[in-house]
Structures are given as C-alpha cells and as structure tokens.
Amino acid sequence: MAKIEINKFEASQRQIDAAIRMLFSNEDPVAIHTLAMASFQVLQDLAAKRSDCSIDKMTKSIIKPGKEKELRKILHSLSNFLKHADRDPEAVINNVDEEANDFVLLFSCFYYRDLGQQLTSEMTTLLSWSYIWHPDLQTIIVPPVFNSIISQVRTELTNMTRKEKLEVGKIMLGNSYNSI
C-alpha cells in the first residue's frame, strides 16, 4: 500500500477540486456536501489561527454578536447529520437544498485564496461559473478564456434548469484544462 504525505492545504485543495468535479458532473449532492464541508471546516479552522484572513473577518462582521454558535449550528447541521448517528440513528432530514453546495464550495475557494493559496483550475472555474449566475459577486476576477462563454450563457440564464447550469460548468472546466 502506498503512503502519501499531505498537509491541511493540500487535503483541502483535493477535497474542493473533487467536489467541484462531482458538482459539475451532477453527481450525488450528499457526497459533494460531505467533501465540501470537510474542506470548508479545515479552512475555517486555519483562518481562525491567523489575523490576516479578510474573508474570515468579513464573515464575522456580518454575524450578529452572540449569534456565532447559532449560525455555526445551522451551517454545519447537514454535515453533522451525515457524519454522526450516535444521538439520532433513525432521523431523517428534510428540505435539503443541493444548491447550498455551490455556496459552501464558493466560500471554501474564497478561504483558500485568502489564506495565500493558488487557486486551481477547478476553483477558478467554480468562481467564474458562480459569476454567471450571480453577477453581483464583484470580487471574482473572471479569466479571459471564460468571457465569451459568460456573455453567451447569461442571455439564456433564465431558461436553464439546474442540470443545464451544471453542464455549463462541466464545459467550462473542460475548457480550462484545454487552455493550460
């Protein structure tokens, strides 16, 4: 059996990239969520140890003082449900919104970049793809390779299903690999 050496950033990067590839392939949202939240948690923990993480400061600035634990509980509720069965082995969770994975991955990318790491092709694609559907995300710098795709797709935005939007992401990811 081969053994690898891995640090927290590399582990997080691998989880994010795998989750993004799975997302754009329209794979199981539960598996995507598990990977996305594992990475998000590691990056949040790393950011908490540093004083220069602007995304962490920005996130904390919009949370009402004293409500941090409540927000954390809400944010991590599905992840904890999927990881543990000691208190509620027969429980069922309702109203899971698979699009929440998009934002967990998006914030994971923001944390990753803010912690001084170089974004991967998968991460850059997710950021660009997110910009298509949420043009108000001004902090995203879109690579030139995606500009024509974004212009074309945005006009058809309102008519696309979730599956079609994910297919656009898959095409974008393929294009990012081809432009390297």
The mean pLDDT of the chain is 81
Task: Tell me the two tokens of residue 22.
Answer: 């799975």
180 pLDDT above the threshold of 60: no
pLDDT at position 147 is: 64
Per-residue pLDDT, 13 = 98
**Rounded Cα distance, 81 and 95, in Å:** 13
pLDDT over 80 at 148, yes or no? no
* % of the chain exceeding 90 in pLDDT: 39
Q: The whole model's pTM is what?
A: 0.78
The one-letter amino acid code at 11 reads A
Q: Which two tokens stand for residue 12?
A: 């997080």
User: With contact defined as beta carbons under 8 Å apart, do 105 and 23 qualify?
Assistant: yes
3, part of any domain: no
Domain carrying residue 42: 8-178
What SS3 class is residue 2? coil
Percent of the chain with pLDDT over 70: 66
pLDDT for 134 equals: 76
Q: Residue 50 — very low, low, confident or very high, per pLDDT cuts 50/70/90?
A: confident
pLDDT of 139 strictly over 70: no
90 belongs to a structural domain: yes
Q: What is the pLDDT of residues 66-113, one digit of tens each?
A: 766 766 666 666 666 566 566 777 766 676 778 889 989 998 999 999
Number of domains the chain is built from: 1
Residue 171 lies inside a defined structural domain of this protein: yes
Residue 52's pLDDT is what? 77
| pLDDT tier for residue 49 given thresholds of 50, 70 and 90 | confident
Cα–Cα distance for residue pair 122/172, rounded to 1 Å: 9
